[in-house]
Amino acid sequence: MEIRERVRQLPISPSNLRGMAIASQSDSHFPLIHCHRLFKSYPMTGIEVHALRGIDLDINEGEMVAIMGASGSGKSTLMNIIGCMDKQTSGEYYLDDADISKQEENELAATRNRKMGFVFQRYNLLARSTALYNVELPMFYASISGAEAEQRAREALEDVGLKDFMHHWPNQMSGGQQQRVSIARAMVNRPLVLLADEPTGALDTVSTKDIMAIFQKMHQEQGTTVMVITHEPSVADYCQRKVVIRDGQIVSDDKVANQIIARKSA
Ligand code: ADP
Ligand code: MG
């Protein structure tokens, strides 16, 4: 009872809530991302595709991890589950100590909006909206008001070096710049985890280095946990840890020996 009183007197902030959640279940505390014996099948007419076949993967808060593997190996399937966009067929997935398989769609949507940031190969920006509006959009879903949303979107765009491109449309920007808008959009709600699926797959080497420099900055300065899916070994070298998937199974999981520190080009 005394503890409850004290908790009630704490100013409510997301970090306090997080602390309370962890304190109340200290005997069952998983790493930030905990996958155990994860299977995913897609039932198709005739044959069933087994996209994931027993993934065991733990990722701690504050790690920067590359997920590698050939096309069709199951990388996007794993990202969709970790990103709470799809559910496993069997096995456990806990995010931030919550059993995601038990969440209903509205709760899942809230988890995605509050805890995850997404970056895709093809940027997925609204074509007929400015960079600023694209970055403001996720905050509307998080009920953040007009003036504050605009201020935060401006800061997020400055963080990715796009101070002078706030009012540009996607088709007025290079691929690398569009990808930076999408990173600003992913980061503006200050997610716990940034999930990037082949973020540099459509970019040249200079833009690739710039994008990886931004991920490293988010990781170092904001402590964001970063997962980058790629089939390019040179991209994985910007991460601290490299997990390789083949045919839906993890075949290696190693520390990157000589992590490259990316410096943004002029
Ligand atoms: P990767 O991202 O590594 O290229 P995916 O996770 O996209 O691999 O795909 C893994 C396997 O699952 C592939 O055989 C793919 O064809 C299949 N797959 C992926 N998504 C679906 C889906 N929605 N329906 C049916 N099969 C799918
Ligand atoms: Mg994929």
Q: Is 230 in the pocket of ligand 1 (CB under 6 A)?
A: no
Q: Is 73 in the pocket of ligand 1 (CB under 6 A)?
A: yes
Distance from residue 76's CA to the centre of ligand 1 (Å): 7
**Token digits of residue 125:** 């920006």
Residue ranges, CATH 3.40.50.300, the chain: 61-85+111-255
pTM of the model: 0.88
Conformation bin of residue 33: beta by default, left when phi > 0, alpha when psi is -120 to 50: beta
pLDDT at 193: 98
pLDDT at 18: 46
The two counts, helices (H) then strands (E), for the chain are 9, 10
Q: Tell me the residue ranges of DSSP E strands in the chain.
A: 33-43, 48-59, 64-68, 90-95, 98-99, 116-120, 193-197, 225-230, 241-246, 249-255
The verdict on domain 61-85+111-255 having CATH code 3.90.1150.10 is no
CA 112 to chain CA centroid, nearest Å: 9
Nearest CA to 196 out of 83, 86, 85 is that of 83
Pocket test for ligand 1, best of 47, 49, 87 (most atoms within 8 A of CB): 49
Q: Is 40 in the pocket of ligand 1 (CB under 6 A)?
A: no
Nearest 5°: the CA angle 221, 167, 196 is 40
The residue nearest atom 6 of ligand 1, judged by CA position, is 74
Q: Is 69 in the pocket of ligand 1 (CB under 6 A)?
A: yes
Pocket test for ligand 1, best of 41, 42, 75, 120 (most atoms within 8 A of CB): 42
pLDDT at 253: 98
Q: Which long-range contacts (CB under 8 A, 24 or more apart) does 145-154 make?
A: 152/188, 153/184, 153/188
Q: CB-hemisphere CA count at 13 Å for 34?
A: 14
Mean pLDDT for each consecutive 10-residue tract of the chain (266 residues)?
39 43 57 98 88 98 97 96 97 98 95 95 96 94 89 97 98 97 96 97 95 96 97 95 98 95 76
Distance from residue 72's CA to the centre of ligand 1 (Å): 6
How far is Cα 211 from Cα 205, in angstroms, rounded to an integer? Answer: 10
